[in-house]
Chain A
Amino acid sequence: AQTVTQSQPEMSVQEAETVTLSCTYDTSESDYYLFWYKQPPSRQMILVIRQEAYKQQNATENRFSVNFQKAAKSFSLKISDSQLGDAAMYFCAYRTNRDDKIIFGKGTRLHILP
């Protein structure tokens, strides 16, 4: 069965600093997609960044970047220059070509310290 594990239930970072959120996944598939979603207190699920497994280059979106290690099945999210608006729950998620549903991790709550 495919699983997504986020080992850090909570993290804190000083404003303007850099933080890395961990995610590992388990799959026997070779072709799949990985996502990070952000859920602020408003409860809205917002896509932060996505990565195709067949691409070796790590995805980046402004202050957000990933470290994708396919052999290790690791997909961490790095947030640079943290801002107060980055405070939220962050969910790592996985999807395959064979199956349309997205599997989510349990999330990491990120606190930004002013």
Chain B
Amino acid sequence: NAGVMQNPRHLVRRRGQEARLRCSPMKGHSHVYWYRQLPEEGLKFMVYLQKENIIDESGMPKERFSAEFPKEGPSILRIQQVVRGDSAAYFCASSPMRGSSYNSPLHFGNGTRLTVT
């Protein structure tokens, strides 16, 4: 049973370009979370999605950032017109259906390190 898969592992973008980060949840998991980790910091919640629905996006910056989790395919975190401050590690995590998930730990991917030059 493959774990949470994120790609790419490393992504370099110049200022003003777009970054697209992909996440495939564990098999059987229908809930996806995105977290951002700045250097020497903990993980900060960004957004929580289930297929075709955004459940909680309270941690997402209002501009340039968007996330989706389509019926088919991976979840995508999209950052438009990247700036140097967007440089961070972005982690995806997944969990099973909501009703059984409260005491379930999140299963994390290995993260995508975004570097904006």
Contacts and interface: CB of A to CB of B under 8 A. Distances in A.
A72 to B, nearest CB: 21
Given A42-B110, A101-B56, A47 B105 contact: yes
Nearest to A52: B103
Nearest to B46: A101
Given A33-B102, A43-B110, A44-B110, A101 B45 contact: yes
Nearest to A53: B103
A33 B43 CA distance: 17
Given A43-B110, A44-B110, A106 B105 contact: no
Contact of A91 (B40, B42, B95): B42
Contacts, number: 56
B89 interface: yes
Task: Report the interface size class on chain A.
Answer: 20 to 34
Interface string B40-67: 1111110010000001100100000000
B108 interface: yes
Contacts of A35: 105
Interface residues of B, number: 27
Interface string A75-114: 0000000000000000100010101111111110000000
Main secondary structure of the interface of B (DSSP, over half): strand
B48 A44 contact: no
A56 to B, nearest CB: 16
A95 B98 CA distance: 13
Given A44-B111, A95-B102, A100-B95, 15 more contacts: A35-B105, A37-B105, A44-B108, A45-B43, A45-B108, A47-B105, A50-B103, A50-B105, A91-B42, A91-B43, A97-B102, A100-B33, A104-B42, A106-B41, A107-B40
16 contacts: A6-B42, A33-B103, A37-B108, A42-B110, A43-B111, A50-B105, A52-B103, A100-B31, A101-B45, A102-B45, A103-B45, A104-B42, A105-B42, A106-B41, A106-B42, A107-B41
